[in-house]
Amino acid sequence: MAFISYVLNTLGPSVVIPIIIFVLCMVFRMPIGRSIRAAITIGVGFIAIGIVITLLVNTLGPAAQAMVKNIGVKLDVIDVGWPVAAAISFGTSSVVPWVFVLGIALNLLLIVVRFTKTLDVDMWNYWHFIFTAAFVQVITGNLFIAIALALITELIVLKLADISAPVVQDYYGIPGISLPHTETVSWSPIGWVLNKVLDRIPGLNKLHADTGTIQERYGVAGEPMIVGLVLGLLIGLLAYFPGFATNFGGAFAHILTTGITLGAVMLVLPRMVAILMEGLVPLSEGAQTFISERFPGRELYIGLDAAIVIGFANNMTVGLIMVPITLLLAILLSFIGLNHVLPFTDLAVLPFLVIWANTWSRGNVIRGVIIATIFMMGILSVGTFLAPMTVVLAKGAHFALPAGAVSISSLDSGAHLIPFILVFGFAVGQVGSYGPVFLIWSIAWVVFTVVCYVVYFNYARSHVPGMADKALYVTEEPEEPVMEMEGGEAVAGQ
């Protein structure tokens, strides 16, 4: 346990992942010089992406919190953010070493037996699988069941990453990569089904807007940087306008800072992803060469954090638009007893949670917002459902509840759809205080999710989702240019 804590918390992903990448390069018999360069470049890329995401969170977080304060809504479950959910998961020490050791072994076994093509090197995000085990452990007290369901979560996530990898690689231009990121890829079947439903709604199925077409139509005004600036100014205005009465200059400065910072994020984040890509491309090529020579017809995907795709302008645009929409949804759902979560800290990570609302339509912002709105209805309710168990886990991990908070959860916790489905039967008795309407709504979400998964997996048996129907969503040129290699370096075509 101490070693795992050292690797995850002391070294961190920006150190651990390059080490894993270097080992993989050696396994794939790449030249040592090229391997060292690829590994270091990937580490630098993760650091660069982390810096920009931190800038995004540090700017958008306070603005979102100010918006919550302005609305004045009182909900009894506080959104404490994904870092707390991760800390609570790692704090459940009885399951952590088991899930890590058995999880790695399971991934390798599934590759050997050809159940999955994804090699998940994103060890830090194993906390997503621990998340499932922690909830089951606190509810049942049965370590065996807790570990078994954590491994089932991993198995499903790896399979979802496999199925969605072709569209990720094609649309985002990231060869040989998949995204086994639980709180994002769990929503890929629902996003796919909802996108297909929108295909069949007259009028709505003709509406299309993405940053590429917006820029083509409006020139400079439609560039991602300007879109980010405008959205940032609107969010800043909604957040800081009360300050006009007491400190006009300070409020005005906050609004401008929010706008220019979000414009900067829209411009810089894709370029940071390009640094990461410069290291990933040689690894991907080396892995495929190694596999094809020894196992003809086999493929291997490198599984990474979904952070590598949030920098694409359409994902960022939808994520920013969803900030005020999520607050409005939280209020409306609370009136009918379907939500108790007060969106707060995790409003800053909405660009992560909307990835699969946006990817199937290949960046159609209109569809992205519609599908993301449905996503958030589920995420708020799942976050509410998990709140009672989260409090128990938090106390077990010695996490102090925020002052005045009756209960805690997070939007990120609510996005853990597969864990929610797996623990639902064990946890029904924990949410009785929310009333029968909430319970019926939760059951409806379970049924809806299962139906979407069945339809999605059945379709994937004979088609490649996102590729078989590609012509429906792209014109002759991609709406959002993919990564390209120019002069030996990866660049993001935005």
Task: Supply the Cα-derived Rg of the chain in whole angstroms.
Answer: 22
DSSP E strands, 304-459: 341-342, 407-409
CB 132 within 8 A of CB 419: yes
In 157-313 the beta strands, taken as DSSP E runs, fall at 177-178, 301-303
| Residue 57: predicted pLDDT | 79
The edge-to-edge listing of strands for the beta sheet with 341-342 is 341-342, 77-79, 407-409
The pLDDT value given to residue 180: 94
Q: What span, in angstroms and rounded, lies between the C-alpha atoms of 390 and 135? A: 8
Nearest alpha carbon to residue 323 among 232, 407, 386: 232
Q: ∠ at Cα 189 (186, 195), nearest 5°?
A: 130
How far is Cα 271 from Cα 40, in angstroms, rounded to an integer? 17
Q: Which of 350, 280, 371, 269 is nearest to 313 (CA)?
A: 269
In a 13 Å sphere around the CA of 200, the CA atoms on its Cβ side amount to: 4
Residue 166: domain span: 2-484
Q: Is 75 helix (H, G, I), strand (E, B) or coil?
A: coil
Q: In this structure, is residue 151 part of a structural domain?
A: yes
Joined together, the tokens standing for residue 202 give 């007259």
Residue 8 half-sphere exposure toward CB, CA atoms < 13 A: 20
- Assigned domain for 313 exists: yes
CA distance 82 to 351: 14
Distance CA 471, CA 474 (A): 6
Query: For residue 490, is it within any domain?
Result: no
Q: Whole-model pTM?
A: 0.84
Alpha-carbon gap, residue 39 to 183, rounded angstroms? 26
pLDDT computed for residue 490 by the predictor = 42
Taking the C-alpha atoms of residue 96 and residue 143, their distance in angstroms, rounded to an integer, is: 11
Asked whether residue 62 is domain-assigned, the answer is yes
- Rounded to whole angstroms, the Cα distance separating 288 from 292 reads 6
Phi, psi of 173, deg, nearest 5: 70, 40
Instruction: Reduce the DSSP state of residue 340 to 3 states and report it.
Output: coil
- Domain-located, residue 42: yes
Rounded distance between C-alpha atoms, residue 189 and residue 456, angstroms: 6
Domain count, the chain: 1
Residue at 491 is within a domain: no
Q: How many helices (H) and strands (E) in the chain?
A: 19, 8
* Low-confidence residues of the chain: pLDDT under 70: 1-13, 93, 215-222, 397-398, 400-405, 432, 475-494
Tell me what pLDDT residue 488 has: 42
Domain membership of residue 288 (yes or no) is yes
In the block, residue with structure tokens 């998990």: 386
Q: Is the dihedral of CA 380, 385, 391, 393 positive or negative?
A: negative
- Rounded distance, CA 16 to CA 2, Å? 16
Q: Is residue 492 part of a domain?
A: no
